[in-house]
Amino acid sequence: MLANLSIQNYALIDDVNVSFANGFTTITGETGAGKSILLGGLSLVLGKRADLSSLKNEEQKCVIEAEFDISNYDLQSFFEENDLDYEKVTILRREILPSGKSRAFVNDSPVTLDILKSLGDQLIDVHSQHQTMRLTENDFQMKVVDALANNAQNISHYSEELSKLKRASKELRELEDFQSNADKEHEYNSFLLKELEEAKLKEGMQEELESEYEQLSNVEQIMEQLAAGYQLLNDEQMGITGRLADLKRAIQQLAEFGDGFKSLNERIQSVLIETDDIASEIEQMKDTVEANPERLEVVNGRLQQLYDLQKKHHTDSVTELIAIREDLAQKVDAVANIEAKIAAKKAEVAEITKTVDQWANTIHQARKSVIPQLKEMLQQNLSELGMPSATFKIEVTPSNTFKTSGKDDLIFLFSANKGSSYGELKKVASGGELSRIMLTIKSILAQYEHLPTMMFDEIDTGVSGEISTKMGDIMQQMSKTMQVFSITHLPQVASKGKYQYKVYKEEGEQGTSTHIRQLGNEERVRELAEMLGGKNLSESALAHARELLQ
């Protein structure tokens, strides 16, 4: 419910602050008084784009605030999703700066214009001539049918399953595309994989082979150096081992003369033991090292195989070759199993399609069942609004295409006069007829949906007399379950409001400005009388005005 509207420095408005209550409120005023300006300001705080021409004083900012009581709206999830503080009394604010920049706030938290508009759409439905044209759109017409059919839950299930179907179908297309491309590469990938598998790759093998190759390639030099080393250690006359033994014997005799000699003796003993070990190891190596041209050829071949593979795959390590081998193995395996995967995905798509079809049929049957009721309600209400011969041809027919809310095509045709052919609303209905049809549809929707605050902007244009009275009755009836505003120029409609506000202009030293105020009972009488007979009030006009209010 719109509880308060504050507008500063907008168009002809200096500063307006007005509070509203629940029920039916009418807004009146002379042509050019600024009713459209008031609506324009409200539209800005609901997310409409603005420009500098909106500012009355271009050196000051424009600020518009709308306070809504949202305690009866289920909007907590919207506030959570958009990281906003939920308040039962929520304030939407829009600021337009002299620089041309615009800022939007919800409960003092900055928001984007899209978020402001999305929230505003759920709080108030501003009905204008532009929105009347929505009546001619197929989506809006289907929404009306679905409201009567109580299809919201069915469409929710359908949408959920349709999303699953779209995901599964996309995955199937990707598998089929993969198969189409993979078939061309499969043979080559299999060849590359076989090469890498035959190489029997393992971590560290390249370093081991290169070390072995160096030894086998230099076996004669190794044997010569080992023999020379052994000779240096074990020569009978000058061998290092023998000379160390002599040194040990000489120092050993001094060990008893003090700790220093004893420690020296122990160190010589350690060196002698280590030298003996080295001599034994060199002797063992010397006896085991031998030329092996066959093994050298094998090692050389294995290394060359590794080098060729690394060059082919643009790598410089066995680790990278192993990674390439694993990747190729996955690709080859994927192609080998692709047929089974495609078959399984096709079965999944078929199963989901069946479920989506079932929900689409449930939606169709619900729609089909309420068509007679919708036609009767529309035709009966329009008859009371001065269109006794208005008839509709409404049909829902299943198609072969899954759409956002089912598979149905909707035929929504209209004939205003007896004997006239049926045609699309936008082609055969006048502006006044469209307004009456829209009001009728909104009143029907109000019985089946929890609608936000409704604001009708001169929906009664083109009608008068008893028909305007009936339109006022419809809006009054709607206001029993929701807040309804009507900007009107008809006294028959204005009198139906529980509250009435007047928009007017005043001229002062600073120029012309627009104002709005609530009218008391006697003020309403005078306002209605002026709407009936003009500025020169007659007793008959005043009497008629009082009669309308009663």
Q: Give the three-class secondary structure for 124.
A: strand
Nearest-10 crossing angle of helices 240-252, 219-234 = 30
Band the pLDDT of 130: cuts 50, 70, 90. Answer: low
Contacts by 178-182 with C-beta closer than 8 Å and gap 24+? Answer: 178/334, 178/338, 179/335, 179/338, 179/339, 179/342, 182/331, 182/334, 182/335, 182/338
Instruction: Give the pLDDT mean for 169-198.
Output: 83
Residue 97 within a domain? yes
Identify whether residues 330 and 423 lie together within a single domain. no
Higher pLDDT among residues 241 and 304, named by residue = 304
The string of pLDDT tens digits covering residues 254-293 is 777 888 888 888 888 888 888 888 888 887 777 777 777 7
Angle at 97 between CA 94 and CA 102, to 5 degrees: 45
Give CA–CA dist 3/312, Å, rounded: 76
Residue 28 within a domain? yes
* Residue that terminates a domain, selected from 287, 303, 337: 337
Half-sphere exposure of 276 (CA within 13 A, CB side): 9
Identify whether residues 27 and 61 lie together within a single domain. yes
The CATH number assigned to the domain holding 418 equals 3.40.50.300
Identify whether residues 410 and 490 lie together within a single domain. yes
Which amino acid, residue 309? L
Q: Give the three-class secondary structure for 174.
A: helix
Residue 453 within a domain? yes
What local confidence, expressed as pLDDT, does residue 160 receive?
96
Q: Name the β-bridge partners of 16.
A: 7
Identify whether residues 188 and 146 lie together within a single domain. no
Residue 72 within a domain? yes
Query: What is the rounded radius of gyration, in angstroms, for the C-alpha atoms of the chain?
Result: 46
The string of pLDDT tens digits covering residues 26-74 is 999 888 788 888 888 899 999 888 777 778 888 889 999 999 999 888 8
Burial class (CB in 10 A: 0-12, 13-18, 19+), 253: exposed
The string of pLDDT tens digits covering residues 5-30 is 999 999 888 899 999 999 999 999 88
Q: Name the domain count of the chain.
A: 2
Residue 392 within a domain? no
Higher pLDDT among residues 154 and 138, named by residue = 154
Band the pLDDT of 113: cuts 50, 70, 90. Answer: very high
What local confidence, expressed as pLDDT, does residue 306 receive?
87
Nearest-10 crossing angle of helices 205-217, 293-312 = 140
Residue ranges of E strands in 46-116: 62-69, 89-96, 102-106, 109-111
The string of pLDDT tens digits covering residues 346-362 is 999 999 999 999 999 99
Give CA–CA dist 503/11, Å, rounded: 14
Identify the CA nearest to 405 among candidates 91, 90, 79, 139: 139
Q: Is it the case that residue 190 has pLDDT exceeding 90?
A: no
Distance of CA 112 to the CA centre of its chain: 15
Identify whether residues 211 and 333 lie together within a single domain. yes
Q: Give the three-class secondary structure for 487.
A: strand
Residue 359 within a domain? no
Instruction: Give the pLDDT mean for 199-228.
Output: 82
Half-sphere exposure of 275 (CA within 13 A, CB side): 20
Identify whether residues 87 and 185 lie together within a single domain. no
Identify whether residues 272 and 310 lie together within a single domain. yes
Q: Find tokens 């009721």 and name the residue.
A: 373
Tokens of 363: 């939606």
Identify whether residues 201 and 133 lie together within a single domain. no
* Residue that terminates a domain, selected from 295, 319, 337: 337
% of the chain surpassing 70 pLDDT: 99
Half-sphere exposure of 357 (CA within 13 A, CB side): 8
Identify whether residues 92 and 199 lie together within a single domain. no
Identify whether residues 112 and 74 lie together within a single domain. yes
The string of pLDDT tens digits covering residues 479-515 is 998 999 999 999 999 999 999 999 998 887 778 889 9
Side-by-side strand order, sheet with 391-403: 391-403, 406-415, 423-424
DSSP 21: -
Residue 545 within a domain? no
Owning domain of residue 14: 2-151+405-519
125 in Cβ contact with 454 (< 8 Å): yes
Identify the CA nearest to 503 among candidates 25, 31, 22, 1: 31
Higher pLDDT among residues 376 and 536, named by residue = 376
Mean pLDDT of the chain: 88
Give CA–CA dist 95/41, Å, rounded: 11
Residue 525 within a domain? no
What local confidence, expressed as pLDDT, does residue 338 receive?
82
Higher pLDDT among residues 520 and 462, named by residue = 520
Identify whether residues 116 and 189 lie together within a single domain. no
* Residue that terminates a domain, selected from 317, 337, 357: 337
Identify whether residues 110 and 195 lie together within a single domain. no
Q: Name the β-bridge partners of 410.
A: 396
Identify the CA nearest to 42 among candidates 21, 13, 22: 13
CB neighbour list of residue 7: distance below 8 Å, 6 or more residues apart: 13, 15, 16, 17, 38, 41, 63, 64
